[in-house]
């Protein structure tokens, strides 16, 4: 028996599903579960945001009239969003800085050729020019200079 002859239920070992269930039925059930979780997450995020807005903007006296007496300081209503914004900003700054630090200097030979360089021999280059989709390879610097500057 080839690998392609197996049923989906044989491939998904350890998953509780009836053997008569087809792949499309399994996909449909999985999609329905994701839709339900997505909708529940959407509703929960709206409820949490409304609670945050009420806590941040409703006066203390009104909250105490409704029996809400224990809640964090209003300082955190401004501090947490500001910290989140600065965290995202600093992540972007650190990401760019790490990329700059890991890039070889312009005068380094590694910007021309390194251990991952793939060059095709000249006969293979001629064959690739005739192909509709040429192979993925690095173009030698001498070839680039010849094309650009002669």
What residues does each domain of the chain span?
1-71
pLDDT bracket for residue 135 (50, 70, 90): confident
pLDDT bracket for residue 137 (50, 70, 90): confident
Closest of 124, 123, 118, 121 to residue 136, by C-alpha = 118
Closest of 114, 116, 143, 142 to residue 129, by C-alpha = 143
CA separation for the pair 71, 89 (Å, rounded): 29
- Which helix (H) or strand (E) segment holds residue 101: the answer is helix 75-102
Residue 108 is given by DSSP the state: S
Nearby residues of 12 by Cβ (< 8 Å), 6 or more positions away: 26
Average pLDDT score over residue span 104-110: 81
Statement: residue 20 has pLDDT above 80: no
Query: Could you tell me if 118 and 136 are in contact, meaning their C-beta atoms sit under 8 angstroms apart?
Result: yes
CA 118 remoteness from chain centre: 28
């Amino acid at each position: 028996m080839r690998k392609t002859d197996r049923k989906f239920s044989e491939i998904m070992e350890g998953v509780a599903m009836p053997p008569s269930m087809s792949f499309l039925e399994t996909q449909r059930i999985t999609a329905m579960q994701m839709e339900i979780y997505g909708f529940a997450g959407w509703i929960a995020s709206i409820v949490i945001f409304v609670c945050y807005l009420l806590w941040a903007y409703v006066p203390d006296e009104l909250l105490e009239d409704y029996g809400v007496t224990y809640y964090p300081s209003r300082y955190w209503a401004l501090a947490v969003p500001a910290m989140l914004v600065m965290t995202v900003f600093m992540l972007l700054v650190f990401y760019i800085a790490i990329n700059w630090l890991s890039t070889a200097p312009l005068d380094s030979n590694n910007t021309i050729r390194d251990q991952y360089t793939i060059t095709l021999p000249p006969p293979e280059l001629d064959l690739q020019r005739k192909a509709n989709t040429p192979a993925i390879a690095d173009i030698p610097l001498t070839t680039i200079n010849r094309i650009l500057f002669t």
